[in-house]
Amino acid sequence: MSKLERAERGAARARLTANLLSFTVGAPATEILGAMRGPPRAASARQVVMYLLAAAFGMSQLEIAAAVGRDRATVAHGLKRVEDKREDERFDLWLTRLEVCLRAAPAPLWARPVREGGQ
């Protein structure tokens, strides 16, 4: 897979995750992934997006940084903030459920190998 394909896949995963967070926290996905910091709810959701990209998809900090338009230090800070919040049982359960949802999402059709005979 080329660098461009990896970057596109990372961006698609970030959009999927941001839309899931948008649904659960009520912050628009455009604010979560926006260039500006945005309101606190969007900034917190962005940190959760970063964490889920690492946990559910195994993306590196550099891959996450590229996918969400931030630098690696910001990603590292966001991951630490979310990890610290996992001590709260309700937050931990919520985060685990989000991770399960993302892991259960099917791979995009364009990423699946094509079988012989068009099946």
Query: Selecting from 1.10.1750.10, 3.10.450.50, 1.10.10.10, 3.20.20.100, what CATH number does the domain 3-105 have?
Result: 1.10.1750.10
pLDDT digits over 48-104, tens only?
999 999 999 999 999 999 999 999 999 999 999 999 999 999 999 999 999 999 999
Q: What is the pTM of this model?
A: 0.88
* 8 Å CB contact between 35 and 74: no
What per-residue confidence (pLDDT) applies to 110?
Answer: 67
- Domain borders along the chain are 3-105
